[in-house]
């Protein structure tokens, strides 16, 4: 490992690429199948309420879109900042693709549909279960129950699509319709996402559409969470990639640059 703050992740692409096993690919195929069946079932449940609750369902769908942008950024921040690729289960399933991506941003464009979207389908299944278990019939709080089921369903729909949008943002010649959606900033635009790929990769984490990146960056949302973790747990962000001393120096520099009037991070234990 290197101890130079802001330096590139020292691991080799082959290390991360080798972490994609046949066994996990089988899990992803099963996850896509189960996820698709559950989403079809959810749509079938919601359609009968479309005429009576049209605007409520539209509002819930849009809220789900925005929630997916936040979730994509929060999970991205977690995967970039904490843990190691050799951790059980989540190391290969979640952390490996993100760490590989900073070393080789074009690697995602070489992933097929299953590798691109399988993990997101897997993590969406528990939420899909909640949507399908939520009672939607007449009774107290029917509108609220419909809103919850629809917004959560929309959120996991866009969460599933997030990696595809992310992949297209690194594709040299995306399909014509995709390019139009990127230029309209209705899905993640390449120029916008490029701001995340400036070392040390500590901003603009949202990768569904990116609408929340600017306000969260201005608020210092993720650096604030890192300061909390450092003060409460002695955790050092990005220490697996950079080495503890380099990661700590980088965290201090980032805090000083963003909010120089605030106290510095607590010294790690």
Q: Could you tell me what percentage of the chain is helix, strand and coil, using 3-state DSSP and rounding each to the nearest 5?
A: 70, 0, 30
* Contact in structure between 133 and 147 (CB atoms under 8 Å): no
pTM here? 0.76
pLDDT at 13: 41
Please list the ranges in the chain whose pLDDT falls under 50: 1-16, 242-248, 250, 259-269
Distance CA 249, CA 258 (A): 14
Distance CA 212, CA 38 (A): 28
pLDDT at 177: 96
Cα separation values, 250 from 7, 119, 257, Å: 10, 30, 10
């Amino acid at each position: 490992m290197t101890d130079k703050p802001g330096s590139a992740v020292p691991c080799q692409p082959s290390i991360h690429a080798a972490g994609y096993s046949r066994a996990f690919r089988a899990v992803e195929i099963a996850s896509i199948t189960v996820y698709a069946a559950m989403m079809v079932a959810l749509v079938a449940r919601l359609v009968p309420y479309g005429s009576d609750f049209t605007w409520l369902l539209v509002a819930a769908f849009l809220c789900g879109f925005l929630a997916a942008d936040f979730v994509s950024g929060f999970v991205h921040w977690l995967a970039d900042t904490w843990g190691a690729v050799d951790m059980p289960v989540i190391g290969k399933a979640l952390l490996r693709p993100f760490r590989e991506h900073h070393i080789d941003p074009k690697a995602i464009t070489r992933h097929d549909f299953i590798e691109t979207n399988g993990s997101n389908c897997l993590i969406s299944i528990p939420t899909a279960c909640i949507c399908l278990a939520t009672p939607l019939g007449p009774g107290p709080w029917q509108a609220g129950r419909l809103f919850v089921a629809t917004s959560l369903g929309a959120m996991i729909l866009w969460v599933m699509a997030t990696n595809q949008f992310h992949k297209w943002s690194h594709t040299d010649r995306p399909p014509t319709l995709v390019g139009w959606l990127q230029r309209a900033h209705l899905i993640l635009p390449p120029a916008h996402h490029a701001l995340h790929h400036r070392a040390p990769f500590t901003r603009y984490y949202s990768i569904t559409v990116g609408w929340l990146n600017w306000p969260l960056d201005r608020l210092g949302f993720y650096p604030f969470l890192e300061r909390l973790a450092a003060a409460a747990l002695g955790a050092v962000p990005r220490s697996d990639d950079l080495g503890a001393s380099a990661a700590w120096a980088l965290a201090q520099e980032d805090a000083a640059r963003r909010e120089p009037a605030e106290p510095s991070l607590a010294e790690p234990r």
